[in-house]
A and B are shown apart, each in its own frame.
Chain A
Amino acid sequence: MLQVKDVSKTFNQGTANETAALRNLSLHVKQGDYVTLIGGNGSGKSTLLNCIAGVFNVDQGHIIVDSQDLTGCSEHKRAKVFGRVFQDAMVGTSAQMTIEENLALALRRGMRRTLSRGIAPKEKTLFQERLKILELGLEHRLDTQVGLLSGGQRQALTLLMSILREPKVLLLDEHTAALDPKTAVRVLELTDRIVQDRQLTTLMVTHNMRDAIRYGNRLVMMYDGTIILDVKGEAKRRLSVEYLLNLFDQASGEEFPDQKALLA
């Protein structure tokens, strides 16, 4: 399905600030896999997602989806394949446009845009129907400007937009990290329900180890631009936060700061 083959990415190459974000990283995500991707700050997990989505070009290696090599493809062309939700709730939607206009844009992801009407009349019912899944009452507010919604509402809407036209792979980049704890849980539960219902192939970055263990059928841990752990199925279900922390300590020779605090 999604193959990341021997990918390297270095920022500020040849300068004093040179940082290798990904080092010869390979990852093969199978159809229907629901992968949680964890790692500390600077481990390269967001860079990996951005390289897959085409925000950055890779220095070396290939990004392949369904035997189609996307490596040199521009970001907007790859959108045909990927649905994406970002960490910042402001990034995924257009604040000045209405809920239905945003959805109409998302419904045409990967399609040729023409001079026909931006929203076809019959699409409104489709939007209302889909918005009901979110259980936020947004189905009654189709012509509300998105800028007037809360961060949690916007993130839920972005999630819906990312799957409105079913993506081959759903890429979630710490999409609940910037929300308040209560809203984060709601959006995560919603994500889980949608991914499970539709059997979506998903790559979810998180830095919360509990979430990484609770959700998905496969867990990948990164450190310093490489994968240091890749477990799935039964083995994943038996994982504990302590185990992951120990592994992290071994890999880095230092402690995983935020998680230690979380456990205390």
Chain B
Amino acid sequence: MLQIAMGAVILGLLWALTTIGVYITYKILNIADLTVEGSIAMGAAIAARAIYSGMDPFKATILAIIGGVLAGLATGLLHTKLRIPPLLSGILTMIGLYSINLRVLGKANQSLLRLKTIYTVFGDLGIGKDRFSTQLGLGQTLPILAVAVLCVAITIFVLRWFFGTEIGYSLRSTGDNPRMSRSQGINTNSMIILGLMISNGLVAFSGALIAQQQAYADVQMGTGSIVIGLASVIIGEVLYARRSFLSRLVAVVLGAITYRLIIALVLELGMPASDLKLFTAITVAIALALPVFKSHWEPIKNSIRRRVDVTS
């Protein structure tokens, strides 16, 4: 049980970087960016290919991030320069990336078993080698957990700083009110491109870490990732959201972890794994529709209250 929960937490943390990426586009830039599906697989593909050809796993991960940044750039240019609607721009990049990822990987999937990854490097440092962890059977998981926590913490720290800068402010206002932003002298096109680059860089980072953790990269691994990202953002917002930017980012991370714990739970309860995507889609649909349900529910609630008032 501890191992299942631990596995869910780790997966949640690794996916949290994707979720933060989705948060930046969906919540801050106000764009539903489907590039995510391609750039997560791209991160995995680049990291896997590079590590397989003997590159240092840290360099391989950085290369993956650069790939994601370029994918975001492509979507940004399609949207701002060629005036293609954002949803469609994302889909175009995503489809294009599928072929690119196949070329990068050279085949549909690539195993990384027994190869040096970021986690094995940390494992060699001695994390998880103590008697206590070994007895609990966490020798393998602790280095992964350490790397995941570290990566998420650094990301949150950097983003918190960035969104407090002049450029960060401009990016936020661009997503919230592009007309006002232009009238205040902000180049909204550049800000949209920048936001998409940051977001997809994080998503590819996430993909690279996931591939190294499961010791396996697959060009199909992005399918449904945007929905998983949205689900995590929404869960985080509903359950943990506070006002400050830092707490919102933390909420997003907790949302990603909660999502994985829920999935682990329903699997444990006997739901077939093949039904997972349907389950996620329905969850997201319900969560997105919450305001509608609320608006129907409020009048009913009020009329009940009124009736109670009259009778009492």
Contacts and interface: CB of A to CB of B under 8 A. Distances in A.
A116 B185 CA distance: 17
Judged by DSSP, the binding face of B is helix
A94 B170 CA distance: 10
Contacts of B168: 118
Contact of A161 (B167, B179, B184, B186): B184
B200 interface: no
Contacts of B167: 113-115
B182 A76 contact: yes
B176 A110 contact: no
Interface string A90-130: 11111111000110111011110111111000000000000
B187 A108 contact: no
Given A76-B188, A108-B185, A93 B180 contact: yes
Interface in B177-216: 177, 179-188
Contacts of A25: none
B61 to A, nearest CB: 24
Interface residues of A, number: 34
Nearest to A158: B180
Contacts of A114: 165-167
B172 A75 contact: no
Judged by DSSP, the binding face of A is loop
A218 interface: no
A113 B166 contact: yes
B19 interface: no
A218 B114 CA distance: 81
A79 B172 contact: no
Contacts of A116: 165-166
A104 B169 contact: yes
A170 B12 CA distance: 51
B185 A94 contact: no
B126 interface: no
Contact of A96 (B172, B183, B187): B172
A261 B187 CA distance: 44
A117 B161 CA distance: 9
Contact of B173 (A79, A84, A91, A97): A97
B224 interface: no
A97 B172 contact: yes
A237 interface: no
Contact of A75 (B164, B177, B183): B183
A90 B178 CA distance: 12
A97 to B, nearest CB: 6
A94 B172 contact: yes
A91 B184 CA distance: 12
A118 B165 contact: yes
Nearest to B165: A115
Contact of A105 (B165, B170, B188): B170
A217 B165 CA distance: 42
Nearest to B170: A113
A74 B181 CA distance: 13
A161 B181 CA distance: 12
A80 interface: yes
B164 A118 contact: yes
A80 B172 contact: no
A30 interface: no
Contact of B185 (A93, A96, A104, A110): A110
A77 interface: yes
Nearest to B188: A76
A111 B170 CA distance: 12
Given A76-B186, A101-B169, A106-B184, A94 B176 contact: yes
B237 to A, nearest CB: 14
Given A94-B173, A95-B177, A96-B172, A79 B165 contact: no
The 9 lowest CB-CB distance pairs between A and B, nearest first, are: A79-B185, A113-B166, A118-B169, A94-B173, A94-B176, A109-B185, A96-B176, A115-B165, A75-B182
Interface of A: 53, 74-77, 79-80, 82, 84, 86, 90-97, 101-102, 104-106, 108-111, 113-118, 161
Given A96-B176, A117-B165, 20 more contacts: A76-B181, A76-B185, A79-B183, A79-B184, A82-B183, A86-B179, A92-B180, A93-B177, A94-B176, A94-B181, A101-B169, A105-B170, A105-B181, A108-B166, A109-B184, A113-B167, A113-B170, A114-B165, A114-B167, A116-B165
30 contacts: A75-B183, A76-B182, A76-B186, A77-B185, A79-B183, A79-B184, A80-B185, A84-B183, A91-B177, A91-B179, A93-B177, A94-B173, A94-B177, A94-B181, A95-B176, A95-B177, A96-B176, A97-B173, A101-B169, A105-B170, A105-B173, A105-B181, A111-B185, A113-B169, A116-B165, A117-B164, A117-B166, A118-B164, A118-B166, A118-B168
